[in-house]
């Protein structure tokens, strides 16, 4: 499958799987003494975010690394 959205350019460097991964994200929440408002990130922020240094794991073979390790060069459309 050629991913065109969230997983565009992402594939496992160990097995080539490109459909499902576990990724460790950063999410900004509103915290009060009563607890966490986890809707805050989606109402007022960027939602879940990650970058090339975020930990990622392949759901197929459990190979893990950083997003940069799982990023494949984009093919040029012909």
Q: Which is nearer to Zn ion, 6 or 36 (CB)?
A: 6
Question: What secondary structure does DSSP assign to 8-76, as a single string?
Answer: TTB--TTT---S-EEE--B---EEETTEEETTHHHHHS--SB--TTSEEEETTT--EEEGGGGBPPPPP
- The least distance separating Zn ion from the CB of residue 70, rounded to whole angstroms, comes to 9
CA distance 3 to 70: 13
Q: Which is nearer to Zn ion, 30 or 63 (CB)?
A: 63
- The least distance separating Zn ion from the CB of residue 16, rounded to whole angstroms, comes to 7
- The least distance separating Zn ion from the CB of residue 9, rounded to whole angstroms, comes to 16
List residues binding Zn ion (CB under 5 A).
12, 14-15, 17, 58, 60-61, 63
Q: Which is nearer to Zn ion, 27 or 60 (CB)?
A: 60
């Amino acid at each position: 499958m050629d991913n065109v959205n969230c997983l565009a350019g992402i594939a496992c460097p160990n097995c080539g799987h490109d459909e499902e991964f576990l990724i460790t994200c950063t999410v900004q929440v509103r915290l009060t003494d009563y607890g966490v408002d986890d809707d805050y990130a989606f109402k007022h922020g960027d939602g879940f975010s990650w970058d090339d240094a975020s930990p990622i794991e392949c759901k197929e073979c459990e190979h893990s690394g950083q997003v940069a390790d799982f990023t494949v060069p984009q093919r040029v459309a012909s």
